Chain A
Amino acid sequence: MMDVGLQHFVVVSALLFCLGLFAVMKRRNAVGILMGVELMLNSANLNFVAFSRYVQHSIDGQIMATFVIVLAAAEAAVALAIVLAMFRNFGTVNAATATSLKR
């Protein structure tokens, strides 16, 4: 049985971050982009917790992760409100159509 170490957490966190980044870059749906952002935030949380467990042996990283979760909740609330407003204005949640700032 292989011992689970720091590098496993880091690889999973990197994969999660890449998935999140990919979702943010490629999704047309604003809600999908939001979900990508959540994934990236969670990968960072995973890093915080892992480094706190294996490297520092302290509780600081876990406190930081808790903050990030709270922050993510607040961010999701604001972002969903923006998406809702966008839907009302444009009739769609496709991020590519919301280009009125360009002109």
Chain B
Amino acid sequence: MNLAMSENAIITCALAILVLPLASYALTFFFGKKLPRKGDFIGVSFMGVSWLLAIRIFLHFWQQSDPAFRVEAAFNWVDLGGFSIDAGILVDGMTSVMLMVVTTVSFFVHMYSMGYMHGDRRYERFFAFLGFFTFAMMGIVLSNNLFFLYVFWELVGLASYLLIGFFFHKDSAAQANKKAFLTNRVGDWGFWLGILAFFTATGTLNYFELFAHVHAGTVKGTLLTFAGLGLFMGCLGKSAQMPLHIWLPDAMEGPTPVSALIHAATMVAAGVYMVARLFPLFGPTALMVVCYVGAVTAFVAATIALVKTDFKRVLAFSTLSQLGYMVMALGAGDSVNAMFHLTTHAMFKGLLFLTAGSVIHAVHSQEITDMGGLRRKMPITFITYMIGTLALAGVPGLSGFYSKDGILGSTLAFGMINGHYVPFVLGILAALLTPFYMFRLTFKAFFGKPADQERYDHAHESPWSMTVPLIGLAILSIFVSGFNTADKSWFSKYAAAYDIPAIAAEFHMEGADEHLVVEVHAESHEEDSHAASDGGHDGHATDAHAATMEDGGHHGDGDHHDIHHTAHMRAMVMSIVMVILGISGAWWVYHQNRIDPSRFQTRLPGVYRVLQGQYFFDELYAATVYRFTLWWCAVCSAFDRIVVDGIVNGTGYLTRMVAWMSGTVDRYIVDGAVNGVAAVLQGAGEGFRRVQTGRIQTYLVYVAASVLVLILIYRVL
């Protein structure tokens, strides 16, 4: 069967996928209240069509043999002489995978919301916001330049804000969405600076032109590092990496379908997608920072998840930890496995959140201390939840195992080449903690005796609109990996590393003499001998990145391939051991009750307090950032009050004085003259009025007298 599509057809489909959620948003937003069923069928059916179109594009790339194949369409949006911005869309393998991920999860979440949000007062508004979010996310995925990436990035932030605060009458939700929005501002500030840095240096915002520019050496050295770190700040905020992760756990105040769609599967993965998409723009130093940030986040978040008792919060910290994995893989130069983990994680974490919603729907509580024994009451939820948990824990045979294994293998290879073993150690420890906390959750919520008999009695399986998405996502959680790591499964074709020299040739640019080794494979071979020795310098880090990049693309290189092969084998064995240890540990502690977990609290109260307090990041920020901000606000306010207000009030007082003087002059001198003339004339008029009696005889007297006077004058003269 021929599945190829013309370029025009691909662009049209992509635009339809972008516009359909927007149309759903507009229709439900403006007419939702008047439509039958409050218009939810619009959201679900439009998303269904989007999903089918995404599958269609996905199938095209399935058959496409050239991994570098891409379609771009753009029109000139702003043209101000030397400054012009295109609005355009880009579809390539990575885009088609992201389209599949977003539409799949979004479609299932739309369907699920019909059951979960049933009877909510702002039911139609919820679907409108979901549509709006999907539109913005599609924009991020389809955009072909940094400017529109940023625009949709912010729109996604807005959608997240609106949906976290969906229950805004709850104070905690109102605080949480504010926190999420402001924390993201910090990251987006850096992101924008990074975009501006690249634009200033190269004069273009188009991804592929930028790659060619970086290859040609237009941007290099420190500028490249800092511009890349700026872009990475966007990822820090949106993908909730340390130290800007504080908003994601609080974002669980939103309705659970939102947590599944936005704060687990798609939006938080936007940062990872962005870094993977713009991978050639990151210099080796920047990637080293990325790697460490990801590793620390993966480990720290996993430790916090150990002690949390809120079902959704455990999952939230798990999400942080898994995002840390993806970012760590990016830093280690393995954008392919990062994208692979993004895809598998979207499926099983979306699934886990939806099962969490199903459980919360049934017992009306988020605390796992209120649950217990639910597997008998909710069989479908339990089975799908178990599939998600096993995938997340990394049990062989499920998708999570292959993607996580790929990441750990690349990170180990990264360490073996340049000596930076810390990310791998943190990653493997997180791989031990992940099954432990997930099975702690499982045993507490689904096994054992019901902690709250009344809640248990009222619990029931959810309606079909909620269980169908669970089953769909559970099936995907198993099969999406194709039972193989990213390099060997179907995925390799969809997220192949960029062929930078070819892209540069397309824009008629040649590589500079001194440049990143990342792009030139031939030269990295010569430096292999240095690579295995002491690590820590940028040059060696670059080699490691070059090596891992190659792994995504070519396999011809002997030494590195051996290292990678060894690393992957070792990482796989270690991670299987960790999974077994983690699950059996949790079984021992929480199912068999051989060790009382409360003894941990009493033995190590300090550690417990730190974990329960989430490493006191919030308190730290409250003590530093918030206090500084408030202090600075007070200073500005004082400046405003004293200096600015003083100037304004002084000017006002001066004006009033001048006006008073001017008024006085006006009133007494000008008005005096005018009134004086009038008064004189009036007085004269009054006087002469007496003469005018109206009696002809009086006038005759005047005439006679005048004649006499005239005669007298005549005589005298």
Contacts and interface: CB of A to CB of B under 8 A. Distances in A.
A and B assemble together: yes
A101 B697 contact: no
Given A25-B701, A25-B704, A102 B696 contact: no
B695 A95 contact: yes
Contacts of B700: 21, 24-25
Interface string B679-717: 000000000000011111100110010000000000000
A99 B696 CA distance: 9
Contacts of A25: 697, 700-701, 704
B697 A21 contact: no
Nearest to A99: B694
20 contacts: A21-B700, A21-B704, A24-B697, A24-B700, A25-B697, A25-B700, A25-B701, A25-B704, A26-B697, A33-B697, A95-B695, A95-B696, A95-B697, A96-B695, A99-B694, A99-B695, A101-B694, A102-B692, A102-B693, A102-B694
Interface string A11-41: 0000000000100111000000100000000
Q: Is the interface of B mostly helix, strand, loop or mixed?
A: helix
Contacts of B694: 99, 101-102
Contacts of A99: 694-695
Interface string B449-492: 00000000000000000000000000000000000000000000
Interface string A76-103: 0000000000000000000110010110
Closest 4 CB pairs between A and B?
A102-B694, A99-B694, A25-B697, A25-B700
A25 B697 CA distance: 5
Interface residues of A, number: 10
Given A95-B697, A102-B692, 14 more contacts: A21-B700, A21-B704, A24-B697, A25-B700, A25-B701, A25-B704, A33-B697, A95-B695, A95-B696, A96-B695, A99-B694, A99-B695, A101-B694, A102-B694
A26 B700 CA distance: 10
If over half of A's interface residues share one DSSP class (helix, strand or loop), that class is named, otherwise mixed; here it is helix
A98 to B, nearest CB: 9
B690 to A, nearest CB: 13
Interface of A: 21, 24-26, 33, 95-96, 99, 101-102
A74 B696 CA distance: 21
Contacts of A96: 695
A6 B704 CA distance: 25
Nearest to B699: A25
Contacts of B697: 24-26, 33, 95
A18 to B, nearest CB: 10
A102 B693 CA distance: 8
Contacts of B696: 95
A95 B693 CA distance: 13
A90 to B, nearest CB: 14
Nearest to A27: B697
Nearest to B693: A102
A95 B700 CA distance: 13
A29 to B, nearest CB: 11
Contacts of A24: 697, 700
Contacts of A101: 694
B322 to A, nearest CB: 105
A32 B704 CA distance: 18
Contacts of A33: 697
Nearest to B696: A95
Contacts of B695: 95-96, 99
A51 B305 CA distance: 147
A102 B689 CA distance: 11
B710 to A, nearest CB: 16
Nearest to B697: A25
A26 B701 CA distance: 9
B699 to A, nearest CB: 10
Nearest to B692: A102
A24 B700 CA distance: 8
Nearest to A21: B704
B323 to A, nearest CB: 101
Nearest to A96: B695
Contacts of B693: 102
A101 B696 CA distance: 11
Nearest to B701: A25
A33 B695 CA distance: 13
A21 to B, nearest CB: 6
